[in-house]
Structure 1
Amino acid sequence: MSKKVLVTGADGFIGSHLVEELILQGYDVKAFCYYNSFNSWGWLDSFPKSLLDKIEIFTGDVRDPNGVRTAMKGCDMVFHLAALIAIPYSYHSPDSYVDTNIKGTLNIIQAAKDLEIERVLVTSTSEIYGTAQYVPIDEKHPKQPQSPYSASKIGADCMADSFYRSFDMPITIVRPFNTYGPRQSARAIIPTIISQLLNGYEEIKLGDLTPTRDLLFVKDTVKGFIEISKSNFLIGHECNIATNSEISMQKMADTLIHLINPSAKIIQDTDRLRPEKSEVFRLFGDNKKIIEHTNWKVEHTLEQGLQATIDWFSEAENLKQYKAGIYNV
């Protein structure tokens, strides 16, 4: 009998791809979507009816413990992805990050404890490492809260780890590096570049292009989540999903410009610069743990992933959902 799994943040970028892959692999999926008066299910609304019919939709808010508990009843496993993720927005609205990322995670793991859920995967982020002190960055790397966002995710990770240690709960902290692909938030650099280029802009507004990132195509990320969920060894562990490589944002931007419009030029927009001490200048993830303890491997090259992302954005119905002329914090 297939496992009944709950995916929080199912209406978002990575969550919607995870829902797709779980259905493909035969899981019984309940999708936790953020309640709103428009009855929007986020990116799940773009799914064909044949796929949506296989998904149980639950609308609620991870900040509400009662709704979380109701959603989790009858589930065997939880993939907790719901979070506030935009770093610039966390500078002026940090309270909301504490409420959603820390308290929301507490609600998930408290309900999982009471309901005796078989497996809980809590989503972390490579941002918790801050600028690399050494590379590749393994799971023992010091945590550095260089933004209110990363501080809230460190708090959520610590809360999850404390429940594993205090109550012997079957929790794994999953730490994907910089995931990109179709449906990514407009505030991220790759959608920012592609949407401007495909809208015909000759001057592409960007922030600091000196940082490096370990770029992970979303389909590889979600398969990493599922493979980690199958490994009992990784209970109680933090586990990176990474490519074990890095690329500068300058080189990545140049690559996209070459693929879409070689005549376009980059101009720096000071509004998009992070405070110097808050900018994470280098992320380069170590993937030894996930490779050693699961069957996961990187299946998409950067070139393949970027082209698939461009192809998706090139569809008029998708591109029109992005406001290329507005800086999305």
Structure 2
Amino acid sequence: MNQEELRKEYLRLINLETIKDSFDLMDIYLNYFFLVIRKQKKLTESVALSEAKIVNQMIFTKIAHMKEMAKGIEYLANDGATLNKIIDPTLIASNTRNLYETISMFNLIYIKPDTEDGKKILYNLWVIAGLKYRQRFENVITKDENREKFEKEKEEIKSLINEIENTKLYSNLNPKEQKKIKQKIREKDYKIKIENNKVTPLSWQASSTEMGFKMDSLNNIYTYFSLYSHPSNVSVFQFADMFNKGNESFINATNFNLNTFFIFLSVFVADYIKLFPEVLEIYENLPQIDQIIINSNNRLVRGSEYSINNEYKALG
């Protein structure tokens, strides 16, 4: 592919003017993620890193299901009445919101902490949050093996808390800052950052800044997708407006949501390679246009300092 052809294909895949363009880009991501699943052979040293690999697999399935969802639906009733093919952008938005939370979690736990103690505290908080939510099912336990599992996880929570409290980082925090971590444990939450012996609680909305997003248009992106994901009044009247005859905006809404979905995928790809540098070799064996387009969305929202490699320079 010469430079002119490279530029033309790049513009098509970055502008996404049609659903077909979005499908073609989705296939590029699917191919990359599946290659990583198959070819990343290096043994992991810990449970935490093994689970990081599973997150990569989970995102592959999110893309595959998104592709099926974006194909739309049509319906033929028993009496012969038909519904022409439509795509529901609210479902696309809901899945995009889920992806946002997934990549935010990954960045917060595996990328942001710059010390081993910091990584241990964030990872343990994440595990504790999940286990404590499961503890809420105690009153519906009927089998002995489930009761045994419940008690085992109860002890695991205590052990994980002890690990946090025994880190040097935690010990160096003053009681007020330690209390913030204890509060997060009570809340079954893990979204914090620890810098300069200060603990700052975080929200999903704030995660875009923590991930390095620089585009102002993405500052409220979580709220935007939450409006679609929740059965709010806004989500209802917006849904109605998308299918007005003669002004069907659901295609444009779908493509906008998919474009944001692709941005989040690119951010994850860059973070995953940062965590597992050996994956860079897999990435750099992709066709040049695939490397450029995956990286371009990451560079677009986070800047060149987050660039995976320098293949984008081939565009001139």
Normalised-by-shorter TM-score class: under 0.3
Q: TM-score, normalised by structure 1?
A: 0.23
Q: TM-score, normalised by structure 2?
A: 0.24
